[in-house]
Amino acid sequence: MTNTVYSSRTRKTRKMVMTAMLAAVSSVLMFFSFNVPLMPGFIKMDFSELPALIASFALGPVSGVAVCLVKNLVNLFFTTTGGVGELSNFLLGSLFVAPAGIVYRKIKGRKGALVGSLIGAAAMAVCSVFSNYYVVYPIYTAFMPMEAILGMYRAINPHVENLWQALLWFNMPFTFLKGMCSVAITFCIYKKISPIIKGQ
């Protein structure tokens, strides 16, 4: 009985430690953002959801969401959006990694991981349209007029008439692609690192 309790505590402690380590890696990756072709300059690519996705697969969806939370709390110290961008990033990241982890728990193996990741990436992409339209971009207009923002989209596609179109044509597919890039990398490295994370 004592050994069982000790083993349970050890697993919980290891889970907390590994979640914290992955959150630290995610926080660092969030600073290494970069521009991508065919996107306005203020939209950046980063791989900070990658450790959160790995945590969700290896440790469970709660750990994946915890990684998303910690990385955005760290980034609050460097925010340029008054915390609104970080809130949106947390919500979207959670929508990505939580379904992936939940499905993977029910359907083990590559199939479950892929199905869960696709569901999560799609949910993140669709919800990004609404979070950007109703929350993030209204805040950005305090620093940059909406016409200037739309002008950056129109420089790439002159047919953009309003913010809805800009978000649907640019942000939604970009967000989905960003999620799938994390999925592709996870599929390449997960088998090698999951035993270390799980302590096997």
Q: How confident is the model at residue 195 (pLDDT cuts 50, 70, 90)?
A: confident
Q: Which two tokens stand for residue 97?
A: 């990694």
Report the pLDDT averaged over residues 74-79.
88
> How much of the chain, in percent, has pLDDT values that exceed 90?
62
Secondary structure class of 45 (helix, strand, coil): strand
Specify the pTM.
0.88
Q: How far apart are CA 129 and CA 50, in angstroms?
A: 21
Task: Give me the sign of the Cα torsion angle 75, 76, 82, 88.
Answer: positive
Structural domains in the chain, CATH included, are: 2-32+46-198 (1.10.1760.20)
Mean pLDDT, the chain, rounded, equals 89
Residue for token digits 């090698």? 192
Confidence of residue 4 (pLDDT cuts 50, 70, 90): low
- Binned at pLDDT 50, 70 and 90, residue 180 comes out as very high
Evaluate if residue 117 carries a pLDDT over 90. Answer: yes
